[in-house]
């Protein structure tokens, strides 16, 4: 029997396969490898596969609402604008640096 994590991954891939009208999960894997789809959480923290070409506008549209709804939690954790700027710098460097 598959563990829960494997089932979750298969479930996500199966949903992506259906939405892409893909013939099989290998086609979804190929789309991920080719970076034509991206797994992200543009809404409410729920992970979705979305077309790579649409990620920027989707995040630009939905991020302000997500961040506003999380503002109280951010304050409780001591995460202010300066902390998010530092986090953004660190993540950007990690993602644009030499591949591991």
Q: What is the pLDDT of residues 10-32, one digit of tens each?
A: 456 666 666 666 667 777 788 88
Measured distance CA(92)–CA(100) in Å, rounded: 15
Cα distances (Å, whole numbers) of residue 40 to 55, 58, 81: 8, 10, 22
Give the torsion through C-alpha atoms of 5, 9, 10, 11, to 10 deg. Answer: 100
Cβ neighbourhood burial of 78 (10 Å; 0-12, 13-18, 19+): exposed
Rounded to 5, what percent of the chain is helix, strand, coil?
65, 15, 20
Question: Which pLDDT value is given to residue 13?
Answer: 66
Listed in order, strand segments (DSSP E) in the chain are 37-43, 46-51
Mean pLDDT of 37-51: 80
Question: Which pLDDT value is given to residue 6?
Answer: 39
């Amino acid at each position: 029997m598959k563990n829960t994590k494997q089932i979750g991954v298969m479930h996500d891939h199966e949903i992506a396969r259906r939405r892409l009208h893909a013939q099989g999960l290998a086609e979804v894997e190929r789309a991920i490898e080719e970076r034509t789809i991206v797994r992200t959480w543009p809404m409410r923290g729920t992970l979705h596969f979305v077309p790579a070409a649409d990620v920027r506008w989707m995040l630009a549209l939905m991020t302000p609402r997500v961040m506003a709804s999380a503002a109280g939690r951010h304050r409780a954790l001591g995460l202010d604008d300066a902390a998010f700027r530092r986090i953004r710098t660190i993540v950007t460097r990690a993602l644009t640096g030499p591949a591991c």
